[in-house]
Every structure is written in structure tokens, then in C-alpha cells.
Amino acid sequence: MPMPMLTKRRAFLALPLLAACAHEQPAGPFVPPGPPSYGHLTPLRLKVGTLDIRQAESGTALMVQQPAPLLPSDVMLRMAQDRLSAVGGPSSARFVIQTARLTRETASPAGTFSPASESFRCIMRCQLEIMSAEDAVLASAAAEVRREATGPTRDDDERAALAERVVKLAGQDMNVEFEFQLRRHLRDWLQLVAAPGETLPQPVEREALPPS
């Protein structure tokens, strides 16, 4: 039986697909302290004259349950502001936050020897559109990620820390997935020439996964 094939993303890309989904316990991937920042990463330069990065609007797709020390929409907005830039051209680009949800539910009630635990779920989805001078969509790319984290919630501090963690993890996933989708669907609209001192990510390759 042939081995399954999946897209390999090199150093700059991990492995989440368009609808990346993961479940993390508190001891999962490292999450840097403080608000997320993407300014240290290679910019995604668009061959457009103007770039419109839109704030999230209201609606059920943007529902956030408290506690929410870090809003999913703010993380996505920061990613777009830090990573996207316009380098010139007759067209324009528009970044839209479509989904930025954070929900929670009880995972297990408190027991005699164990605290109660809760599950926080974060869903992020955004789209980048290339627009003509007549405001027609010339090309677009969308990215979506899902993250879940479950852990003990003995008090409000633990609950808030868990909520912040899952949003940061979703933001990490979105940064990776967003760049992958842009390079896949909007490659002709990206300026792929490195500035002095920069190293651009390697192109995507394919390889067989080892048998399980």
C-alpha cells in the first residue's frame, strides 16, 4: 500500500492545513510571554498600491466568552499589520477577519482529589483579497485554524491563563497557515525578492510520511 503524501512546510511552516485543528494540554508547545508579535518575521510584500487591513466587525462569528485576556481578533489584526505590506502597483489588497471565536465549556467537574477542568476553543479565519481599480476581486486566499486547550481551572487566574494560551497557540498556527496560503494562491502577487540581509523561506516540497 502506498504511503500517504502530505505537504511539507519547511522551517517557516509547520504542518497545519487549511482547517488546521489541534488539541493541546497545558504542557504543550512553548508560548512566549506577553502579547504576540510578528515583526521579526520575513514581511509578506504585496504587489499592490494600497493595503486595507480591516478591524473585526460584530456577529456570532466573533463571539468571545470571558475570560479573554487576549482577543482572537486582536491577534489576527496584529499579524496582518506586522507581516503585510504594499510595495506598489495598480491594484489594492484587503485583509478581512471573518471568524475570531473563543468559547469554553466544562471538561470535567471537580472531584474529591482533583480540581474542575475546562476546555477553551479558538477558531480563526481570515481572507486576503486582491482588488482591481473597479473594486473587482482579482484573486484571494483564505486561512482557517482551530485550537483547543484543556486544563484545571481552580480559580479565575488559571482560567484566564488557559484562555490566553489557546488564543496564542491559535495565533501561531494562523501565522503559519496564512503565509502558506498566500504563497500557494497569491504567489504572483508577492514580491519574492529578499531585501539586503534577509533570508526568504524555502519553497514548499512534498514527501512521504513514515508508516505509523
Which residues touch 88 (CB under 8 Å, ≥6 apart)? 47, 48, 49
If pLDDT is split at 50, 70 and 90, which confidence band does 36 have? Answer: confident
Question: 156 φ, ψ to 5°?
Answer: -65, -30
Q: Please state the domain extents for the chain.
A: 18-27+41-187
Residues 174, 107: Cα–Cα separation, whole Å: 25
Whether 205 shows a pLDDT value over 70: the answer reads no
Q: Which of 94, 93, 97, 78 is nearest to 40 (CA)?
A: 78
Is residue 11 scored above 50 in pLDDT?
Answer: no
Mean per-residue pLDDT for 138-158?
Answer: 94
Residue 169 sits at the vertex; the CA angle it makes with 209 and 184, to the nearest 5 degrees, is 55
DSSP state of 64: B
Its CATH architecture, for the domain 18-27+41-187, is 2-Layer Sandwich (3.30)
Q: How many residues does the chain have?
A: 212
Which pLDDT score is estimated for 137? Answer: 96
Res 186 pLDDT > 70: yes
pLDDT of residue 47: 96
Mean pLDDT over 136-160 rounds to: 94
